[in-house]
């Protein structure tokens, strides 16, 4: 993730700008899902941010650690109650190694797309596999780009229009890139935030997992385990690292 994007200004306002993601109907199913897959833990969150998911997961009694490239985002996490229980390593989720071995590694809220090349995304899968114990799980929550809704020649599509916020994505289809544009009115003043992404299809992620020595074990449309179909606009996918070969003992 680009530190120039996730800077001090963005970090300070991140939780307020993402209040809908903290609603119980959104957050609780995610934490429930991850807690079941973590088992006894520990769990590692790539791109832990300000701890939206890590903190409630930690409160379930699961030891949680995190990787975060943005120092400002990590500082916002450290201000929160319970953050002292979470060890955060500063670094890129594609290459940085956190101490320990984990039953679960997870990436939520489309963060895999913040890695802007296929090579980086493949490296993220390999890094996840390095952190996992045998039989451990790697979970990703990610959107599926609604390219079918783009008329020929059109490159922009709104995703939210509200009284104080306008959001739209601009697409570069040839390079699997998009830029999310956020325009907010705060105290009568306009605030702008642009974040670049490399969108990626579930089948491409499955190949990345295979390259990292993992295999798909589950795919759902959301954290509530709604069946995944061709019309799903998001997915929650789980890949597993194989158990050690007993014949080598």
Backbone angles phi, psi at 30, to 5 degrees: -65, -45
Give the SS3 label for residue 60.
Answer: coil
Which residues, including other chains, have CB under 8 Å from residue 241's CB and lie 6 or more apart?
Answer: 129, 132, 133, 134, 135, 136, 137, 138, 213, 214
Q: Does residue 230 lie within any of the structural domains?
A: yes
- Residue 193's alpha-carbon distances to 7, 163, 188, 218, in angstroms, are 11, 17, 16, 34
For residue 1, name the pLDDT band (cuts at 50, 70, 90). very low
Q: Does residue 1 lie within any of the structural domains?
A: no
Q: How far is CA 226 from the centre of its chain?
A: 19
Q: Does residue 156 lie within any of the structural domains?
A: yes
Both 222 and 189 in one domain: the answer is no
For residue 17, name the pLDDT band (cuts at 50, 70, 90). confident
Both 69 and 175 in one domain: the answer is no
Using one digit for the tens of pLDDT, what is the confidence trace for 145-157? 888 888 888 888 8
- Residue 109 DSSP label: T
- Residue 2 DSSP label: -
Beta bridge partners of 31: none
Using one digit for the tens of pLDDT, what is the confidence trace for 72-105? 999 999 999 999 999 999 999 999 999 999 999 9
- Give yes or no for residue 245 having a pLDDT over 70: no
Cα–Cα distance measured from residue 162 to residue 135, given in angstroms and rounded to the nearest whole number? 44
Domain that holds residue 241: 8-145+200-248
Both 76 and 64 in one domain: the answer is yes
Residue with tokens 């789980």: 238
Q: Does residue 92 lie within any of the structural domains?
A: yes
Q: Does residue 3 lie within any of the structural domains?
A: no
Both 240 and 141 in one domain: the answer is yes
Average pLDDT of the segment spanning 102-116? 97
Both 139 and 232 in one domain: the answer is yes
Domain count for the chain, please give it: 2
Q: Does residue 2 lie within any of the structural domains?
A: no
Average pLDDT of the segment spanning 152-181? 89
Cα–Cα distance measured from residue 199 to residue 112, given in angstroms and rounded to the nearest whole number? 9
- At residue 199, the pLDDT reads 96
- At residue 249, the pLDDT reads 36
Both 83 and 22 in one domain: the answer is yes
Beta bridge partners of 68: 90
- Residue 115's alpha-carbon distances to 10, 37, 111, in angstroms, are 18, 25, 8
Whether pTM > 0.85 for this model: the answer is: yes
Beta bridge partners of 145: none
Both 140 and 152 in one domain: the answer is no
Write out 110-125 in H/E/C secondary structure. Answer: CHHHHCCCHHHHHHHH
Cα–Cα distance measured from residue 82 to residue 61, given in angstroms and rounded to the nearest whole number? 12
């Amino acid at each position: 993730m680009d530190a120039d994007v996730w800077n001090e200004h963005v970090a300070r306002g991140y939780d307020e700008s993402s209040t809908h993601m903290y609603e119980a109907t959104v957050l609780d199913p995610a934490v429930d899902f991850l807690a079941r897959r973590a088992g006894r833990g520990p769990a590692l969150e790539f791109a832990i941010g300000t701890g939206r998911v890590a903190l409630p997961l930690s409160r379930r009694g699961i030891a949680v650690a995190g990787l975060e490239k943005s120092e400002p985002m990590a500082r916002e996490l450290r201000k929160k109650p319970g953050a002292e229980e979470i060890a955060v390593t500063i670094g890129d989720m594609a290459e940085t190694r956190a101490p320990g071995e984990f039953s679960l590694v997870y990436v939520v809220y489309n963060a895999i797309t913040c890695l802007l090349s296929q090579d980086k995304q493949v490296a993220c899968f390999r890094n996840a596999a390095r952190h996992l114990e045998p039989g451990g799980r790697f979970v990703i929550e990610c959107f599926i780009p609604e390219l079918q809704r783009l008329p020929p020649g059109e490159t922009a599509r709104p995703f939210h229009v509200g009284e104080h916020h306008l959001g739209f994505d601009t697409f570069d289809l040839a390079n699997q890139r998009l830029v999310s544009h956020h325009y907010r009115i705060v105290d009568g003043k306009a605030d702008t935030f642009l974040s670049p992404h490399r969108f990626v299809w579930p089948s491409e992620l499955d190949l990345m997992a295979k390259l990292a020595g993992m295999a798909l074990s589950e795919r759902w449309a959301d954290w509530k385990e709604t069946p995944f179909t061709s019309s799903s606009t998001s997915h929650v996918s789980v890949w597993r690292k194989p158990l050690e070969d007993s014949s080598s003992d």
